[in-house]
């Protein structure tokens, strides 16, 4: 026997003091709840927490009527169909072009698991599910208004408020690109989020390491502990930190992905920004002679470095480096030492100690000067300038300790 009725669950009050209206479906002594797009306040409920708003009641009755017609279409088969399968039929039979934003987003994340920070995407999706209090959200509900409510829901988590909202907007745009076809005039997703502006994360000033601390890392002995025939996290972290500092702040994603090395110069496109830069964020870095043994130590077959052979993803590489750097930080007296410190310190020391101008350091970091964005399109990039600047930085940092550097 099957039955429907509408209700709200008293214990599921949302942070905005509303309750989601649910359709309860009973089948063969089992019960499931289907979330709707309707929400009610306490004023729309009676003392028994039953819905008294006639408009909401009418919409619920209409929806139940639709569900009953769908059930009737199953005829005698319904007794043999598990309740969860029926729920899927009811949910996805509502519209022929129904799009579950959560399902799309999770599949997109699976297909882009190589992206650095993909875990943040998953965290944003999970937070959105908690906000809606359900595991399925129709694309029609991803609106500017609801994203602002989501933003408010995250108000006590400033970083998440900025990161998660911008991530959801990014995934919405990916859904638009996937489902809409301008050439064929097909628009399954007709609304947009262009009016929404994600809140900016408040800037936290990061402190670079001193030249003395950088030199201490370069002179730090290896622990020479092998794990499955490979260098330990401690030794891997030391080597990657040295590579990053000497190669203009090359990050873990690029150490993982870079492919072109002619024996003197590494040429790569910066993973983080190549997809949104007209120049594909290309970099050409001369490898300082004294660091060449490290390049040979980790030489890969299909890419410059063999990290892709040791780790499943660049995220795994980055995680392992940071774990190793925590060990190193304890030795040199730098709590919670992070890999980004190599890149940040390279830039700070170049400006503050070596006297390299900020415009050149901006190029060393492969950043775009927004005020010169259009002009840069017409100017062929000269990488010799940043490599000469890097030679000055290496000379300042290591000339006096060259015989003490442990590679």
Instruction: Give the tens place of pLDDT for each residue, 324-383.
Output: 999 999 999 999 899 999 999 999 999 999 999 999 999 999 887 655 554 455 456 789
CA 6/CA 9 separation, integer angstroms: 10
Measure the CA angle with vertex 185, ends 180 and 186; round to 5°.
40
The model's pLDDT over 238-251, given as tens digits with 9 standing for 90+, comes to: 999 999 999 999 99
Q: What are phi and psi of 395, to 5 degrees?
A: -65, -45
Statement: residue 190 has pLDDT above 60: yes
Burial annotation 205-231 (CB, 10 A radius, 16+ → b, else e): eeebbebebbbbbbebeebeeeeeeeb
Pair 256, 307: CB distance under 8 Å: yes
Residue with the larger pLDDT of the pair 379 and 234: 234
Strand partners of residue 181: 186
**Nearest Cα to 2, choosing from 83, 59, 73?**
83
Statement: residue 34 has pLDDT above 50: yes
Q: Is 2 helix (H, G, I), strand (E, B) or coil?
A: strand
Pair 256, 317: CB distance under 8 Å: yes
- Average pLDDT for 386-404: 95
Pair 288, 394: CB distance under 8 Å: yes
Domain boundaries, the chain: 2-92, 101-184, 211-404
Q: Do the bridges between strand 230-231 and strand 226-227 make them parallel or antiparallel, or are there none, so unpaired?
A: antiparallel
CB atoms within 10 A of CB 380: 6
The model's pLDDT over 251-293, given as tens digits with 9 standing for 90+, comes to: 998 999 999 999 999 999 988 777 767 678 899 999 999 999 9
CB-based contacts of 333, cutoff 8 Å, min separation 6: none
Q: Do the bridges between strand 260-261 and strand 230-231 make them parallel or antiparallel, or are there none, so unpaired?
A: unpaired
Q: Kindly list the distances between the CA atom of residue 62 and the CA atoms of 87, 99, 111, 404, in Å, as whole numbers in the listed order.
A: 17, 21, 38, 80
Statement: residue 403 has pLDDT above 70: yes
Mean pLDDT, the chain, integer: 88
Statement: residue 202 has pLDDT above 80: no
Q: How confident is the model at residue 207 (pLDDT cuts 50, 70, 90)?
A: low
CATH number of the structural domain 211-404? 1.10.443
* Window from 92-96, 140-144, 244-248 with minimum mean pLDDT: 92-96
Q: How far apart are the first and last CA of the chain?
A: 74
């Amino acid at each position: 026997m099957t039955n429907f009725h509408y209700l709200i669950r008293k214990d599921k009050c949302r942070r905005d003091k509303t309750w989601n209206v649910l359709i309860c479906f009973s089948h063969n002594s089992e019960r499931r709840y289907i979330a709707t797009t309707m929400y009610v306040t306490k004023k729309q409920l009676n003392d028994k927490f039953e819905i008294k708003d006639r408009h909401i009641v009418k919409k619920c009755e209409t929806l139940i009527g639709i569900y009953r017609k769908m059930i009737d279409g199953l005829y005698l088969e319904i007794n043999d169909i598990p309740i969860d399968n029926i729920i899927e039929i009811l949910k996805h039979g509502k519209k022929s072009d129904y799009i579950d934003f959560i399902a799309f987003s999770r599949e997109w994340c699976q297909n882009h698991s190589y992206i650095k920070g993909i875990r943040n995407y998953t965290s944003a999706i999970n937070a959105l599910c908690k906000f809606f209090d359900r595991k399925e959200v129709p694309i029609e509900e991803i609106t500017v208004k609801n994203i602002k409510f989501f933003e408010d829901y995250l108000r006590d988590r400033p970083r998440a408020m900025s990161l998660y909202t911008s991530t959801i907007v990014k995934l919405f745009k990916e859904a638009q690109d996937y489902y809409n076809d301008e050439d064929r005039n097909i628009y399954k997703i007709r609304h947009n989020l262009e009016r929404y502006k994600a809140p900016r994360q408040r800037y936290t000033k990061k402190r670079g390491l001193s030249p003395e601390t950088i030199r201490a890392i370069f002179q730090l002995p290896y622990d020479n502990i092998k794990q499955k025939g490979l260098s330990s996290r401690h030794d891997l972290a030391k080597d990657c930190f040295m590579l990053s500092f000497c190669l203009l702040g090359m990050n873990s994603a690029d150490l993982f992905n870079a492919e072109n090395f002619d024996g003197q110069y590494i040429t790569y496109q910066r993973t983080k920004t190549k997809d949104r830069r007209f120049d594909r964020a290309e970099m050409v870095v001369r490898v300082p002679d004294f660091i060449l043994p490290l390049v040979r130590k980790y030489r890969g077959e299909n890419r410059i470095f063999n990290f892709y052979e040791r780790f499943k993803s660049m995220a795994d590489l980055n995680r392992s480096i940071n774990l190793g750097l925590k060990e190193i930080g304890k030795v040199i007296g730098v709590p919670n030492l992070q890999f980004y410190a190599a890149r940040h310190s390279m830039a700070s020391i170049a400006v503050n100690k070596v006297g390299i101008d900020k415009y050149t350091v901006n190029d060393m970091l492969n950043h775009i000067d927004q005020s010169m964005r259009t002009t840069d399109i017409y100017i062929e990039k000269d990488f010799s300038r940043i490599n000469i600047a890097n030679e000055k930085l290496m000379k300042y940092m290591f000339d006096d300790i060259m015989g003490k550097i442990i590679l």
